[in-house]
Amino acid sequence: MHAVAIPRVKPGSIDAHMQTKVPKFIDVQDKIIDGLTLWQVVNLAAAGVIAAIFFVVLRGPLGLVGAFLSVVSGVCFAFIKINERPFSVFLFSAMRFVINPKQFVWQKEAQKIKVREHKTAIPTRTSRQGGELTQQKIKELAMLLDVDEHPRQ
- Residue 137: pLDDT over 90: no
- φ/ψ of 32, rounded to 5, equals -115, -40
Query: Is the confidence at residue 16, as pLDDT, over 60?
Result: no
How many Å apart are CA 56 and CA 82, to the nearest integer?
33
Residue 30: band (very low, low, confident or very high) from pLDDT cuts 50, 70, 90: confident
Surface-to-core class of residue 116, CB atoms within 10 Å of its CB (0-12 exposed, 13-18 middle, 19+ buried):
exposed
- pLDDT mean across residues, the chain: 79
Enter the pTM of the model. 0.48
E strand residue ranges, the chain: 31-33, 36-37, 81-82, 85-86
Average pLDDT over residues 106-127: 69
**Distance (Å, whole) CA 112 – CA 48:** 64
Query: What residues contact residue 55 under an 8 Å CB cut-off, 6+ apart?
Result: 63, 64, 66, 67
Residue 139, pLDDT score: 83
Query: Both ends of the chain: CA-CA distance in Å?
Result: 60
Query: Does the pLDDT value for residue 71 go beyond 80?
Result: yes
Domain boundaries, the chain: 31-99
Task: For residue 9, give the nearest of 110, 1, 17 by alpha carbon.
Answer: 17
pLDDT value, residue 117: 75
Q: How high is the pLDDT of residue 5?
A: 62
Helix (H) and strand (E) counts in the chain = 4, 4
The band of 64, judged by pLDDT with boundaries at 50, 70 and 90, is very high
